Amino acid sequence: MAVGRLDIAGAGFCTGTLVSPTLVLTAAHCLFDKRSGQRINPADIEFLAGWRLGRALAYRTARQAVIHPDYQYGDDSTADRVSADVALIELWQPIRNTAVIPFESGDQPKRGAEVGVVSYAHDRSEAPSLQQVCSVMNRQAGFMIMSCDVDFGSSGAPVFSFAGARPQIVSVVAAKASMDGQSVAIGTAVEHSLKLLRDELSAGRGFGLSSSGSGTNKNIGARFIRP
């Protein structure tokens, strides 16, 4: 199981997914301290691959991390912020286990396409849960709105497309929201971001680099709540 729990500084957790033997994909906001707004030291982050009922298939500490260059941490989840809410964590040691096969990424699905979310949450922190298959309600540049009902702890969870022979990651959960009275999930698209993040790591722009972008608050008809 390449989906795992990210234990962060002993104070909380997010969901992460192995996309190579040494790289874990998650949400950028997971790497910030909620109280101070400062980046969390990667040394305080541990990836528990396939964590279930107190045991993991592999345990790895983080070596470094990189966030999307356009991401700026903040309390409000604007459209610009959500579209860049993605990060990569590099592990100190690769995970080489036949039961933990990294997932590949895919293109952002079309409106109406079926997707699924695998995540940990505050009421199921000891085992991952596959959301009932939900659908893409709307697409925007860099993110999509889905009918999935996610909860706290689902941040960074992979959104899978089932169009191919094997599920592909097409998004990561960035926020939960309410739209027209319905609970929805907001996912950051990864089709272009993942390559960008890999390039950032290859260029030596790991965690600690101050990179931020400016943007405007665009109204997409959803009230955001960070999961």
pLDDT tens readout for residues 170-215:
999 998 888 888 889 999 999 899 999 999 999 999 974 333 333 3
Q: How far apart are CA 65 and CA 217, in angstroms?
A: 27
- 54 and 126 Cβ atoms separated by less than 8 Å: yes
- 186 and 174 Cβ atoms separated by less than 8 Å: yes
Query: In whole angstroms, how far apart are CA 187 and each of 86, 101, 137?
Result: 10, 23, 11
Domains of the chain: 3-102+191-202 (2.40.10.10), 114-189+221-225 (2.40.10.10)
- What confidence tens digit (pLDDT) does each residue in 49-89 have? 998 888 999 999 999 999 999 999 987 778 889 999 999 99
DSSP three-state, residue 90: strand
With CA atoms as reference, report the closest residue to 186 among 137, 227, 146, 142.
Answer: 146
Cβ burial of 152 (10 Å; 0-12, 13-18, 19+) is middle
Side chain identity at residue 139, one-letter code: R
How many CB atoms are located within 10 Å of the residue 213 CB? 12
- For the record, the structure tokens of 225 come out as 């709540």
- 189 and 45 Cβ atoms separated by less than 8 Å: no
DSSP class of residue 37?
A: -
Whether 216 shows a pLDDT value over 80: the answer reads no
Predicted structure pTM score: 0.86
